[in-house]
Amino acid sequence: MTDLATIEAFLYREASFLDRPDLDSWIELYTDDAYYWIPATEDQVDPINHVSHIYDDRVMMEIRRRNFIHPRAASKDSPTRCSHLIGNIRVIEESTEGTLIIESNQHVVVWYQDEQRLYAFTAQHALSPDNGSFKIKSKRVDLINPEAAQKSLVIYL
């Protein structure tokens, strides 16, 4: 059994990169075949035939990372800073090879375009062991309000 404190420390580390945000360091936490998903509906099972707010594989994550710091990306002129608060961490599944499915509740306050916004969601991470720590194989962000009209968001949650 993986120690919960190790898992916590890893989730906090990911959050700290997003809080700054430091997408260059953040993206290195992900495997090459990873994907990052924010579904557009409750209990969404299909990211291909149903729209999502975000469904990025590593290639799209790399493009977004480059776009995020591009000097002519007008939507990124506004500072973007976040504060992740993570709780209710639970191990959903642990394989004999040490692959983990972790769920956590996260409240993220985002400062963007002169206002503070609150996002609340269940995060599901699929983690694989990597040199005493983990790499993220996938991250799913289930917002409590995926069907709501969303405002522009230019950072990963």
Partner 1 sequence: MQQIPDRNFDALVTPTKLHRSLYTDPEIFELEMSRIWGQAWIFIGHESQVPKAGDYFTTHINHQIPVVMIRGKDDVVRVLHNRCGHKGAKVVEKRSGNVRGALRCAYHGWSYRFDGSLLKVPNEQGYTDTGFDAADPCYSMQPLAQVASYRGFVFATLSNTIVDLVSWMGGAIACFDNLCDRAPEGEVEVAGGVLRYEHDCNWKFILENLNDTMHPMVVHESLVKAAESYIATLPPEAAEQRREAEIIPPFGASYENFENSGITGFDYGHHYDGGKTSIHADYSVDPDYHAAMVSAYGETRTREIYAFNTHNVLYYPSLTIKCAVQNIRVIRPISVDRFVVESWSFRLKGAPDSMLERTVLYSRLINSAMGMVGPDDLEVYRRAQKGLQSPANEWVEFHRQYGKDQVFADRIEGGGTSDLDMRTQYRAWKGYMEQSQQRGANND
Q: Give me the phi and psi of 62, to 5 degrees please.
A: -65, -40
Reduced to 3 states (helix: H, G, I; strand: E, B; else coil), residue 124 is strand
> What SS3 state is found at 63?
helix
Which region among 27-35, 72-80, 86-94, 128-136 touches partner 1 (by CB under 8 A)? 72-80
Footprint of partner 1 on residues 4-63 (CB under 8 A)? 38, 40-41, 44, 48-55, 59-60, 62-63
154 lies in the binding site for partner 1 (CB under 8 A): yes
Nearer to partner 1, 36 or 134 (CB): 36
Residue in 4, 12, 22, 75 binding partner 1, rule: CB under 8 A: 75
Taking CB under 8 A as the rule, does residue 109 contact partner 1?
no
Q: Is the CB of 62 or the CB of 93 nearer to partner 1?
A: 62
Q: How far is CA 77 from CA 19, 80, 113, 120, 157, in A?
A: 17, 9, 9, 25, 19
Q: How far is the CB of 50 from partner 1 (least distance, A)?
A: 5
CB of 32 to partner 1, least distance (A): 11
Start-to-end Cα distance in the chain: 28
Q: Look at strands 133-143 and 30-39 and give their pairing.
A: parallel
Task: Give the three-state DSSP class for 76.
Answer: helix
Which two structure tokens, joined as six digits, stand for 157?
Answer: 């949650």
Q: How far is the CB of 145 from partner 1 (least distance, A)?
A: 10
Q: Which residues are near partner 1 by CB under 8 A?
A: 38, 40-41, 44, 48-55, 59-60, 62-64, 66-67, 70-77, 113, 147-154
